[in-house]
Structure 1
């Protein structure tokens, strides 16, 4: 575990691989931690990458946001600041899952020169919702709305904070059916071990829905999350994802080259843990492609 100061934010991160290797920045989502990359990180390290997997703002041992903001624009700013603070001039590999995927889209669009390739998991480019609307796929929109019930619940103050110890195991079970999360759930609960940290994790969702919570200082970064990186982009999703419907993820093929949209059979939302060998194989094949 190492630490770095990004302005007023103290960021903790896991790292592996050679110190002089090109950077690979891995961003986790909710309800999760940097330990979610424990299978992929050694694969990238073996290929010579200096792997850095931070705990996102609010998740212990990273500090709480000094400006109180947990909007996606702030996550983008953190990813960009981290990449610059690590001091390597070469473009870095950027990998993100769930909220980390949203941050990855934004960081790649906002500061394109910092990155070489982008890999995202479980959340496609944000324009997928517009594609569903244009296709008038009312059934898909309804199914996705039902699967996203937790987003509405987490707008409720106090009640949703109190539910975290029960909600986190339920979400892992619902989102990745059949996966044994006994190693992961305790790590999430340890990262959200205080009322302030639980509120921080829930404010990711509250800032998304309650636009008045967004700070003007992150306006450009916030807009960037709705773009599509110009870099080579690989998107992976599980066919049994109980969070973001696989039919929703499949719409990514209308936004990017279809061969770069990879369905992982039998995996759910946390596919990097459920099917680590298949995920690593897809990513390494992508890295071996010529530009």
Structure 2
């Protein structure tokens, strides 16, 4: 995959790309702690189907720039996805794929600007409307325990200081048994300065601390809680240690769901063949 750059207003975005230049666009959004390289297996599959694949490094992750406005809330990620899609210059509706925070951004971008997309694929974070389907208080408790890192990462300076140890731990906890030596160094390289570490952690701080959010992205922020009107496929791993599989299964009434056996949270790199098979079957329908 080739690395290119594009300006979205004051933000310079780096992205990986492959596939025919005249193909319909497919925008692939990564999450935390991850990079655009997590799409290295799915991107060639989509390119072989004729898509022009564009996988950006999210704001704050090198080689993309830091946010000029200092905002890292989910609404800003939605705005970036929409701006990127428009900057690509192709009027055809695009395929939108997102994992983790990229999934949150994908829900929001599809709801906020529905005419830009024709199908949506998300992974590892179900539609946020799934929360309304929870009936078992034990599941709430289990998910809160699994989400300890969200609270820890609210701590300034401390969580930045231990990120070198935290990132490998999260990969090990969230994808048990997966050998992450091909991805963890890429994540740490993308977060190689104090400012970039703060940027990645600010995604979580903006989620829980309103003073980290800007009114500029109010409409985009609301959109992440909606449900896309497009055909929507949600994939999750049966061994996910970040988002409880029991929670993900509750998304079934809201969209098409596929549980990938033996996969954890980072299923695009853990079970690339199963992910590719599910996505291509979805596209064929």
- For Structure 1 versus Structure 2, the TM-score category normalised by the shorter chain is over 0.9
- Structure 1 residue matching 2:251: 3-state secondary structure: helix
Match of 2:71 in 1: 69
* Match of residue 110, structure 1, among 109, 112, 124: 112
Superposed displacement of residue 131, structure 1? 1.6
1:2-55 Cα offsets, whole Å, 9 max, x none, are 000000000000000000000000000000000000000000000000000000
The aligned residue for residue 220 of structure 2 is: 221
Q: Unaligned regions of 5+ residues in structure 1, if any?
A: none
CA distance in 1, matches of 2:132, 2:68: 34
Aligned to 2:85: 83
Q: Distance in 1 between matches of 2:15 and 2:48?
A: 19
Counterpart Cα distance in 1 of 2:25 and 2:201: 30
Q: 1:280 aligns with which of 276, 279, 284?
A: 276
* Structure 2 equivalent of residue 3 of structure 1: 5
**Secondary structure of 1:268's partner?**
coil
Give the Å deviation of 1:212.
2.0
CA distance in 2, matches of 1:148, 1:279: 25
Deviation at 1:211, TM superposition (A): 1.5
Q: CA deviation at 1:189?
A: 0.1
Distance 2:244 2:64 in 1: 31
Distance 1:244 1:60 in 2: 26
Q: Which stretches of structure 1, 4 residues or longer, exceed 3 Å deviation after superposition?
A: none
| Alpha-carbon distance in structure 2 between the residues aligned to 1:24 and 1:48 | 10
Distance 2:204 2:73 in 1: 8
1:104-159 deviations in Å (ceiling 9; x for gaps):
00000000000010000000000122221xx2x11000000000000000000000
TM-score (norm 2): 0.99
> Aligned ranges for residues 31-180 of structure 1 at < 5 Å?
31-132=33-134, 135=135, 137-180=136-179
SS of equivalent to 1:254: coil
* Equivalent residue, structure 1, for 2:201: 202
User: How far 1:210 sits from its partner (Å)?
Assistant: 0.5
Q: Distance in 2 between matches of 1:120 and 1:54?
A: 16
Q: In structure 1, the residue corresponding to 2:34 is in which secondary structure?
A: coil
Cα offsets for 1:64-115 (capped at 9, x unmatched): 0000000000000000000000000000000000000000000000000000
Q: 1:264 maps to what in 2?
A: 260
* 1:207-229 per-position Cα deviation (integer Å, ceiling 9, x unaligned): 00001211001000000000000
Task: Provide the secondary structure at the position in 1 that maps to 2:250.
Answer: helix
Cα distance, 1:184 vs structure 2 = 0.2
Other structure's SS at 1:253 match? coil
- Secondary structure of the equivalent of 1:58? coil
